[in-house]
Amino acid sequence: MNEILNVKEIGISFGSNEVLKSVNFTLYENEVLGIIGPNGAGKTVLLNILCGILSPHKGSIVFEGKSISKQKIAERCRMGFGRTFQVPRPFEKMTVLENIMVGSVFGGGLSEKLAKEKAEEIAAFIGLEDKLLWFAGKLGLLERKRLEIGRALATAPKVLLLDEVGGGLTESEVGSIIDLVKKLKTSGLSIIWIEHIIRTMLEGTDRVLLVANGTDVICGPPTEVMSSRAVREVYMGNEGA
């Protein structure tokens, strides 16, 4: 496999709190890399660094062979980074169609006509084609999660960053999200997926990376990592936390 993203020795501090000390990993083309770690391990901070919301105090990020460490969030979006957030915050007084179009127009640079066509395609892909004209504020949590993914897809990313898209969902709903992530991979995307739900990591990823104490602890096949001593020690027997 060809690598699409290489992260070396990323570190960041907030005052005296060194959240990330040295995190290293590689993401390959058309791969789903899961990231786990205890609360406060800096997983979301890492995603914010990757998409340009935060600037690391040290380390490097190489995307498609080029350093992007100094690129701002808008530039990274145009280069091919899309992301979701833990708590979906759609434009509630806009329709599903309009929400997705916003990403295509302002993130993808499409005309409104092309953005509408793209939004309809995305809505069908994420399973919201029957709710195109629903106001986003009327959607349930699963539908909001799907829309969150759809808005990220609207920018035509090469790398998709998923931040706990399974959080708060029922077991069957989590299964539908796993199926959607598998579809995303089939479409050719490279994905980094943060999640606390162990099932998502076992069933929906190619490799899993454990981040703890500000560093990358172990990375490998999902079953190997999840059954490792490192995971048991980090979670102290509470792997689902």
User: Does position 72 have pLDDT exceeding 50, yes or no?
Assistant: yes
Look at the domain 3-80+157-235 and name its fold.
Rossmann fold (3.40.50)
- The pLDDT tens digits for 187-202 are 999 999 999 999 999 9
Average pLDDT of the segment spanning 42-69: 95
Query: Alpha-carbon distance 70 to 115, whole Å?
Result: 29
The pLDDT, as a whole number, for residue 237 is 54
User: Does position 105 have pLDDT exceeding 90, yes or no?
Assistant: no
Give Cβ neighbours of residue 236 (< 8 Å, ≥ 6 apart): none
CA dihedral angle for residue 231, residue 40, residue 9, residue 235, rounded to 10 degrees: -10
The pLDDT, as a whole number, for residue 241 is 35
b/e for 126-143, b at 16 or more Cβ within 10 A?
bbbeebbeebbeebeebb
Q: Over the chain, what is the mean pLDDT?
A: 94
pTM (predicted TM-score): 0.93
Q: Name the band, by pLDDT with cuts 50, 70 and 90, for residue 108.
A: confident
Q: At what angle do helices 141-153 and 112-126 cross, to 10 degrees?
A: 130
Q: Name the band, by pLDDT with cuts 50, 70 and 90, for residue 239.
A: very low
Q: Name the band, by pLDDT with cuts 50, 70 and 90, for residue 210.
A: very high
Percent of the chain with pLDDT over 70: 98
